[in-house]
Amino acid sequence: MKARALVPGVIEEEENRRVIESALDGLGEVKLRVVVSAYAPEVTGTKRRYWTLLGEGGSVTAVSEEGVERFLSALRAVISSMSRS
């Protein structure tokens, strides 16, 4: 199995921080959703795209920037560990 955990670049990280701060300021929490998709051809053709797997995924609610970072760090670690399996 191959696995690769992505890390945001400088521009993405800045935008992500704005979203997190906005959620915390406006709602008092950040709701994070993980969606699982599979890269495959279309059912009626050969064009490939990502298809969301229905019923797979999950969500986490964090109440601080540290909680968000802890979740994202753990998610990256789990994904990275999959290539060793």
Residue 74 lies in a domain: yes
Neighbours of 5 (CB within 10 A): 15
Q: Which of 34, 27, 24 is nearest to 66 (CA)?
A: 24
pLDDT surpasses 90 at 85: no
Residue 45 lies in a domain: yes
Residue owning tokens 């990275």:
80
Domain that holds residue 37: 10-84
pLDDT digit string, tens, across residues 34-79 = 999 999 988 787 889 998 999 999 999 999 999 999 999 999 999 9
Residue 2 lies in a domain: no
- The pTM of this model reads 0.81
